[in-house]
Chains A and B, each alone.
Chain A
Amino acid sequence: MKETSHLRTENLTVSYGGAEALKNINVEIPEKQITAIIGPSGCGKSTLLKSFNRLLEENDGVKISGRVLVDGADIYSDSEDITCIRKKMGLLSQRPYPLPMSIYDNIAFGPRIHGMKKKAGLDRLVEKYLSLAGLWDEVKDRLNEPASRLSIGQQQRLCLARGLAVEPEIILADEPTSALDPKSSQKIEEEFKKLKSDYTIIIVTHILRQARRLADYVLFIYLGELIEHGPSRQIFESPREQVTREYIQGVIS
């Protein structure tokens, strides 16, 4: 099968204060599929993910070279508006960080800053995206409560809905289930499976079984280098590289 790529890197190299965290990454991420980034902790998975929506440059002393292309346009070129790039991608982090406001306002936050003012329209969006994230029924009677009163699992789905509300094309998720209990994790995974028909999903995970369950495409990173990438089945069943095989068998971690 031949997929079109949605996001592509060319010679992407990232260093923190002189130490290289990613070395010369060249990869294409397929559209409307789930791509898993796997590898041992500290190998640069989060760094790669954050380079996709330019959150990396919020850190001091980060140097980025090479290109990241979304739909063919280099997001690091000066002519690109950074807020537009970020709006194209929803971010889900390791632990949920609800904004310090009500459940309703968390979802309405994105649409509001992008100019949507009408109450009726916002109401509609809030319901739509909370439903899409599978949270609407649980919170529809308490929309004005602070989001921090939700359980961690609910908060993570709230963060997913919040990201979806700015109508991104790509969902970036950095170990999105690592703080959750098994039941909540399963809910998030189910959401992802549903969402992949409309979104390109990139998920960082160090749980190999999760990658196996979810991913269509897999990148394996080791010590800042992209060792191998390919369709999930190929990576898990017949990896080309020795390191990949050892990682998948649990010899190295």
Chain B
Amino acid sequence: MAGKRSIRDARAGRLMFFMTSACALIVVFMAAGLLIKSFPVLRANSPAQILFSDSWSPLKGEFGMLAFIAGTVWVTGLSALIAMPVSLFSAIYLSEYAPSWLRKISRPFMDVLAGIPSVVFGVWGILIIVPLVRDCIAPFFGVYSSGYSILAASIVLAVMVFPIIIQITIEVFHSIPGELRDASLSLGATKWQTIKLVLLRKALPGIIAANVLGFSRAFGETMAVLMVAGNIPAIPHSPLDAGYPLPALIANNYGEMLSIPLYDSALMLAALVLFLIVIMFNLLSRYILSRINLRAA
């Protein structure tokens, strides 16, 4: 009896190991596939040219991607700047201050928000955010903008990642034992001091993890961004300029411009670059997290 059980146990262990390695292998194969496919363009352009030049003229065989890399970084960075404080304060409000009925109804609301297809966010962006940027925000700064801009894309993206970040952050705050709050309050700390000095510290690793998860998604978000970013292959100089992030480049052109030599290879390389950006972002945040964990233990 025990023998059979231990065989089954070993078998289950092996099965799970294979599943896990299969997942890991897919990532490796994907990266390898992209790399092989982008060899042709890498032979024609040096990696430095590709990464640091902004001249994108496929017909002349020039595939500098700096404009797209800049577009991706701009859109994701700005949306992080918008989403991080708003989601942090919303999460704090909902978990620490809001009455329980509000907390309860906010949950399904955010589930719905998280489940809305990104094309719907794109349409909403075109109908609301683009005109808002064109008619209100740009004139306020005294510049002209078509509205299709880094800013519009960042706002739409921020709204898309809110529910993910808020919900995880709320979970993080919930996992903090009530006794820790009691301890701080009983020392005469106010509620805000307790949140600021004790709970935030305790929650910091979790909050970072929540944001990393949210923005890993934001980097690759294609549809909604593509619909409102403007898609002009030039390095944006302000949030009110149009931008052309990497995912939009790939989605817009794959399958259409493939008659141009090296174009498909260049798009594969764009995908690889995006892949590497996301990996670098994850590694960096992992490093930051480990430093924080070390400090807080």
Name A residues whose Cβ lies closer than 8 Å to a Cβ of B. Answer: 50, 53, 55, 58, 60, 83-84, 86-87, 89-91, 93-95, 97, 99-101, 109-110, 113-114, 146, 148-149, 159, 162-163, 166, 172
Question: Complex Cα distance A204/B199, Å?
Answer: 27
Given contacts A60-B100, A100-B202, contact A110 B188 (CB under 8 A): yes
Q: Are the C-beta atoms of A97 and B179 separated by less than 8 Å?
A: yes
Chain B: minimal CB distance from A200 (Å): 15
A91 touches which one: B99, B178, B183, B193 (CB < 8 A)? Answer: B183
Question: Complex Cα distance A93/B187, Å?
Answer: 13
Does B180 interact with chain A (Cβ within 8 Å)? yes
Question: Complex Cα distance A97/B177, Å?
Answer: 9
- Interface footprint category on B: 20 to 34
Given contacts A113-B193, A113-B197, contact A159 B183 (CB under 8 A): yes
Q: Are the C-beta atoms of B198 and A113 separated by less than 8 Å?
A: no
Given contacts A91-B182, A149-B297, contact A83 B201 (CB under 8 A): no
Does B10 interact with chain A (Cβ within 8 Å)? no
Q: Are the C-beta atoms of A113 and B188 separated by less than 8 Å?
A: yes
Scan residues 159-197 of chain B and give those whose CB is less than 8 A from a CB of chain A. Answer: 177-190, 193, 197
Does B296 interact with chain A (Cβ within 8 Å)? yes
Chain A: minimal CB distance from B292 (Å): 11
Q: Are the C-beta atoms of A109 and B187 separated by less than 8 Å?
A: yes
Which chain B residues lie closer than 8 Å to A50 at the CB level? 182
Which chain B residues lie closer than 8 Å to A58 at the CB level? 178, 181-182, 185
Chain B: minimal CB distance from A35 (Å): 18
A83 touches which one: B179, B182, B190 (CB < 8 A)? Answer: B190
A53 touches which one: B186, B189, B197 (CB < 8 A)? Answer: B186
Question: Complex Cα distance A110/B198, Å?
Answer: 12
Q: Are the C-beta atoms of B99 and A60 separated by less than 8 Å?
A: yes
A99 touches which one: B180, B188, B295 (CB < 8 A)? Answer: B180
Which chain B residues lie closer than 8 Å to A53 at the CB level? 186
Q: Are the C-beta atoms of B296 and A146 separated by less than 8 Å?
A: yes
Interface of chain B: mostly helix, strand, loop or mixed = helix
Which chain A residues lie closer than 8 Å to B295 at the CB level? 146
Which chain A residues lie closer than 8 Å to B202 at the CB level? 100
Q: Are the C-beta atoms of A86 and B185 separated by less than 8 Å?
A: yes
Q: Mark B131-165, 1 if CB is under 8 A from A, else 0.
A: 00000000000000000000000000000000000
Question: Complex Cα distance A61/B181, Å?
Answer: 18
A-B contact pairs, 6 of them (CB 8 A): A58-B181, A86-B185, A86-B187, A97-B179, A146-B297, A163-B186
Which chain B residues lie closer than 8 Å to A162 at the CB level? 183, 187
Assuming A99-B184, A109-B189, A110-B187, what are 19 further A-B pairs, CB within 8 angstroms? A50-B182, A58-B182, A58-B185, A86-B185, A86-B186, A91-B182, A91-B186, A93-B182, A97-B177, A97-B179, A97-B180, A99-B183, A99-B197, A99-B201, A100-B202, A101-B201, A113-B188, A113-B193, A162-B187
Q: Are the C-beta atoms of A100 and B185 separated by less than 8 Å?
A: no
A87 touches which one: B180, B188, B198, B297 (CB < 8 A)? Answer: B188
Chain A: minimal CB distance from B201 (Å): 5
Which chain B residues lie closer than 8 Å to A109 at the CB level? 184, 187, 189, 197
Question: Complex Cα distance A99/B197, Å?
Answer: 9
Question: Complex Cα distance A162/B183, Å?
Answer: 9
Chain A: minimal CB distance from B125 (Å): 38
Q: Are the C-beta atoms of A83 and B189 separated by less than 8 Å?
A: yes
- Taking CB as reference atom, which chain A residue is nearest B204? A100
Which chain A residues lie closer than 8 Å to B179 at the CB level? 93-95, 97
Which chain B residues lie closer than 8 Å to A94 at the CB level? 179
Which residue among B179, B187, B202 has the maximum number of chain A CB atoms within 10 Å of its CB? B187
Question: Complex Cα distance A100/B183, Å?
Answer: 11
Scan residues 275-297 of chain B and give those whose CB is less than 8 A from a CB of chain A. Answer: 295-297
Question: Complex Cα distance A99/B195, Å?
Answer: 12
Which chain A residues lie closer than 8 Å to B185 at the CB level? 55, 58, 86
Question: Complex Cα distance A89/B186, Å?
Answer: 7
Chain A: minimal CB distance from B81 (Å): 27
Q: Are the C-beta atoms of A100 and B296 separated by less than 8 Å?
A: yes
Chain B: minimal CB distance from A233 (Å): 31
Question: Complex Cα distance A83/B194, Å?
Answer: 12
Q: Mark B31-60, 1 if CB is under 8 A from A, else 0.
A: 000000000000000000000000000000
Which chain A residues lie closer than 8 Å to B297 at the CB level? 146, 148-149
- Taking CB as reference atom, which chain B residue is nearest A109? B187
Chain B: minimal CB distance from A76 (Å): 16
B183 touches which one: A83, A84, A89, A97 (CB < 8 A)? Answer: A97
Q: Are the C-beta atoms of B189 and A100 separated by less than 8 Å?
A: no
Which chain B residues lie closer than 8 Å to A89 at the CB level? 186
Question: Complex Cα distance A198/B115, Å?
Answer: 60
Which chain B residues lie closer than 8 Å to A159 at the CB level? 183
